[in-house]
Amino acid sequence: MALQKIKWKRKYLQIADNCEATICDNLCYSSNINESPKELTLLPNASIPIESHFYKECAANGGTSYRLTFHPSTDLTTVLYTVVFNCGTTTAVSDLEKDNIKITPNPVSQFFKLKDNFSNVSNINIYNMTGRLIKNLDAIDSDEYYIGDLPNGVYLVRLSDKNNKTIKTLRINKNNP
């Protein structure tokens, strides 16, 4: 794959009253920005960090969701990748324990560990920032997980239970010195 210059476009599928949903690439953009103001450079075998932050009342009245599509910067009609962001649930007090799960060290060069309250984790899926599954690890066999073979970049780590229900998704920065 060659170097790509890309842009993103947001289309709200549903939005709750008073919701503020930001998109962050290298900069953060508010709810009223629905197309990336600048093009992003995607290097071969690399990823671009994309985050969504939901504020205020985004989970109220059915929640908020939007589709983020990525396009060549010269052709916004061609879709390269699509990601859907959702905010539609409230957190129960018992679910607050999930917030204790951490990945250390972060940034990661070769190995990482899960820290604090991860006993229910059975599967670890690592995705690049375009949503493609890169690696699937079994959480039962090891307390250290090797990712030294992955290229430097930002990845999403999905932790799931034995029924494949997502417990938590974390972001890691893979960086070999």
Q: Which domain holds residue 155?
A: 93-174
User: In 3-state terms, the chain is what percent helix, strand and coil (to 5)?
Assistant: 5, 45, 50
Q: Does the pLDDT value for residue 97 go beyond 50?
A: no
Instruction: State whether residue 148 is helix, strand or coil.
Output: coil
R_g over Cα of the chain: 17
Verify that 33 and 107 share a domain, yes or no.
no
Residue-wise pLDDT tens digits, 100-131: 678 888 889 999 888 765 677 888 899 888 78
Verify that 103 and 73 share a domain, yes or no.
no
Residues 5 and 149: their CA atoms lie apart, in Å, by: 26
pLDDT at position 89 is 53
Verify that 115 and 75 share a domain, yes or no.
no
Our count of domains for the chain comes to 2
Residue 126 bridge partners (DSSP): 135, 157
Residues 6+ apart with CB under 8 A from 81: 69, 70, 130, 131
Among the candidates 53, 87, 121, a domain finishes at 87
pLDDT at position 96 is 39
Residue-wise pLDDT tens digits, 141-166: 567 888 999 998 889 888 888 888 88
What CATH number did the domain enclosing 133 receive?
2.60.40.10
Verify that 65 and 125 share a domain, yes or no.
no
Q: What is the DSSP string of 4-64?
A: EEEEEEEEEEE--TTEEEEEESSSEE-TT--B-SS-EEE-TT-----EEEEEETTTSTT-E
Verify that 118 and 49 share a domain, yes or no.
no
Verify that 97 and 70 share a domain, yes or no.
no
pLDDT at position 55 is 79
Verify that 118 and 67 share a domain, yes or no.
no
Mean pLDDT, rounded, for 57-63: 75
Among the candidates 68, 87, 106, a domain finishes at 87
Verify that 109 and 48 share a domain, yes or no.
no
Mean pLDDT, rounded, for 46-67: 80
- Own/partner contacts of 11-16, CB < 8 Å, gap of 24 or more, are 11/66, 11/67, 11/69, 12/64, 12/65, 12/66, 13/65, 13/66, 13/67, 13/84, 14/62, 14/63, 14/64, 14/65, 15/64, 15/66, 16/57, 16/58, 16/59, 16/60, 16/61, 16/62, 16/63, 16/64
Among the candidates 87, 102, 134, a domain finishes at 87
Query: Which residue carries 């649930």 as its tokens?
Result: 89
